[in-house]
Amino acid sequence: MGTLESKAMGVEARDHQTPLVESSFSASSIQPIKRTGVLWTAVAHIITGVIGSGVLSLAWSVAQLGWIAGPLTMLTFASITIVSAFSLCNCYRSPDPLCGPTRNTSYLAAVRMILGKRSAVVSSIILRINYCKVGIVYTITAATSIRAILKSNCYHKEGHQAACDYGYTSYMLFFGFVQIVMSQIPNFRDTEWLSIVASIMSFSYSIIGSALGLAKVIGDGSVKGSIGGVPTSTASQKVWLVSQAIGDIAFAFPFSVILIEIQDTLKSPPPEKVTMKKASATAISITTFFYLCCGGFGYAAFGDSAPGNLLTGFGFYEPYWLIDFANACIILHLVGGYQVFSQPLFADLEKLIAEKFPNSEFIHENYVLKAPVLPAFRLNFLRLCFRTVYVAFITGIAIAFPYFNQVVGVAGSLTFWPLVIYFPVEMYIAQMNIRAWTRKWIVLRVFTIVCLMVALFALIGSIEGLIKARFG
């Protein structure tokens, strides 16, 4: 919420009798934005956004698709993500993508500037749905990982046949409380440290998941799985499972919705576009390698019985302490990932509220809380109330639909095409002045239509799976 914060220079504290709390208010005096991001901080942000809960479902997805189609699908979506990312890198500055004077500081701002207000209205609705669904999936995953830690210890003490049954609701509420606290981080730029920690955690549990799968393959002395994937009794059932698997993979890769926010943290020279393209290529290469390892080793270890969530589905029981550590890494990563995807939404909606009520002290005033040892904390009542209500809303939906694989599939396919394909391609065409019916224009249009067909196929199957899980 950096553009909304009131950082008045030289304004005295309102209550001189309370030295622990200072307040400042100014509608016009805003401190210039200082961009300090570099290549490795951008890579950390991207990895935090990309390697998330989706990686845990990839073994299951490969199991539905088989040994050929599974890895090829992952490589295809990695390529699509690279194309989308490179297209968006050109949209940060306007009208010239390299040195244009106007900065588009968010995905929505870029759509508004390049495609106009009508497109911005449509994209804003889809974008907000996307941010919400990521929060829902992360809440479900965090609760699942907390349960997995408890169940792992229970199985170790009581045996693998013990009931060891734990609910979801209390753990989702706990994660929601943590997010209410973390959501008071003022803006996206202040999450750099959180992204670094989260990216380390994501590497940790991805390596553990891959290593456990490889160890099981070596221990069993055989590679499980088949070319066609999991057999089903009917062709229609196979189609539904394949479409859901594609939706899961679609959710695992894209970070387009936060790319421009990440690019806005970068310092220049070199031009932000150059650094962001390097960061995108580096991060996607790293994540694709880990995805192939997690999906491939998981499928090789369990074959058709690959669990929906590799580290919480209890294909692995021992060593229990390593399972616990991996799930703890997942939880810590999700705390950071939740914020990386929520901060752009907070900034967008709080900006709208601030513009509607420009003279409201409740909205604009910051109270600086000081403690003897801890660093100063800026309390803003709009930030406190709005973000608390938002996290509570997301937590409530997650409690109502605690179905990991089905929700991941719907989440990935619902917003994939408009946000990752359509708007980036349209902005690229407009920004680069590509004329209609030229070779490049035709290729981009075919690319858009093919991706739309794939997204619709994944969406229909994933919705069918969610309905069956909820009411079947």
What is residue 104's predicted lDDT score, i.e. its pLDDT? 87
For residue 32, name the pLDDT band (cuts at 50, 70, 90): low
What is residue 7's predicted lDDT score, i.e. its pLDDT? 36
Question: In this structure, what DSSP letter does residue 434 have?
Answer: P
Contacts of 354 (CB under 8 A, 6+ apart): 4, 363, 364, 382
What is residue 90's predicted lDDT score, i.e. its pLDDT? 87
More confident residue, 198 or 299: 299
CA angle 248, 250, 252 (to 5 degrees): 70
Count CB-CB contacts under 10 A for residue 211.
14
How far, in Å, CA of 472 to CA of 464, rounded?
Answer: 10
How far, in Å, CA of 451 to CA of 445, rounded?
Answer: 10
Share of the chain above pLDDT 90, in %: 15
What is residue 178's predicted lDDT score, i.e. its pLDDT? 93
More confident residue, 165 or 4: 165
How far, in Å, CA of 463 to CA of 456, rounded?
Answer: 11
For residue 445, name the pLDDT band (cuts at 50, 70, 90): very high
**What average pLDDT does this structure show over 217-236?**
87
What is residue 422's predicted lDDT score, i.e. its pLDDT? 92
**What average pLDDT does this structure show over 313-320?**
65
**What average pLDDT does this structure show over 424-430?**
91
Instruction: Specify whether the CB–CB gap between 247 and 404 falls below 8 A.
Output: no
**What average pLDDT does this structure show over 335-361?**
84
Give the burial class of 39: count Cβ atoms within 10 A of its Cβ; 0-12 exposed, 13-18 middle, 19 or more buried: middle
Q: How far is CA 14 from CA 191, 360, 368, in A?
A: 29, 16, 11
Q: How far is CA 352 from CA 3, 24, 119, 123, 427, in A?
A: 11, 21, 17, 16, 23
What is residue 462's predicted lDDT score, i.e. its pLDDT? 72
pLDDT > 70? residue 33: no
Contacts of 453 (CB under 8 A, 6+ apart): none
For residue 412, name the pLDDT band (cuts at 50, 70, 90): low
How far, in Å, CA of 314 to CA of 293, rounded?
Answer: 18
Residue closest to 189 by CA, chosen among 414, 26, 36: 36
Would you call the peptide bond into 424 cis, given omega within 30 degrees of 0 as the criterion? Answer: no
User: What residue ranges in 58-161 does DSSP mark as E strands?
Assistant: 93-94, 102-103
Helix, strand, or coil (residue 37): strand
Residue closest to 248 by CA, chosen among 70, 18, 2: 70
Average pLDDT value over all residues in the chain: 80
What is residue 362's predicted lDDT score, i.e. its pLDDT? 78
Share of the chain above pLDDT 70, in %: 84
Helix, strand, or coil (residue 94): strand
More confident residue, 152 or 14: 152
Count CB-CB contacts under 10 A for residue 194.
22
- Express each pLDDT in 91-145 by its tens digit: 888 877 777 788 888 888 899 999 988 999 898 888 888 888 888 888 988 888 8
Q: How far is CA 136 from CA 140, 221, 393, 408, 469, in A?
A: 6, 39, 9, 9, 17
Instruction: Specify whether the CB–CB gap between 416 and 452 falls below 8 A.
Output: no
Contacts of 264 (CB under 8 A, 6+ apart): 35, 92, 103, 105, 106, 188, 272
User: What residue ranges in 264-417 does DSSP mark as E strands?
Assistant: 366-369, 377-380
- List residues bridging with 94 in a β-sheet: 102
How far, in Å, CA of 128 to CA of 198, rounded?
Answer: 23
**Top mean-pLDDT range of 131-135, 180-184, 277-281, 366-370:** 277-281
What is residue 53's predicted lDDT score, i.e. its pLDDT? 56
Size (the chain), residues: 472
- List residues bridging with 366 in a β-sheet: 24, 380
Least confident of 277-286, 315-324, 383-392: 315-324
Q: At what angle do helices 39-50 and 256-263 cross, to 10 degrees?
A: 160
How far, in Å, CA of 205 to CA of 363, rounded?
Answer: 40
Provide the Cα torsion 451, 457, 461, 463; round to 10°.
70
What is residue 278's predicted lDDT score, i.e. its pLDDT? 92
How far, in Å, CA of 78 to CA of 285, rounded?
Answer: 8
How far, in Å, CA of 350 to CA of 111, rounded?
Answer: 19
What is residue 372's predicted lDDT score, i.e. its pLDDT? 67
The dihedral sign for the CA sequence 167, 143, 134, 392: positive
What is residue 125's predicted lDDT score, i.e. its pLDDT? 86
pLDDT > 90? residue 175: yes
CA angle 294, 300, 306 (to 5 degrees): 75
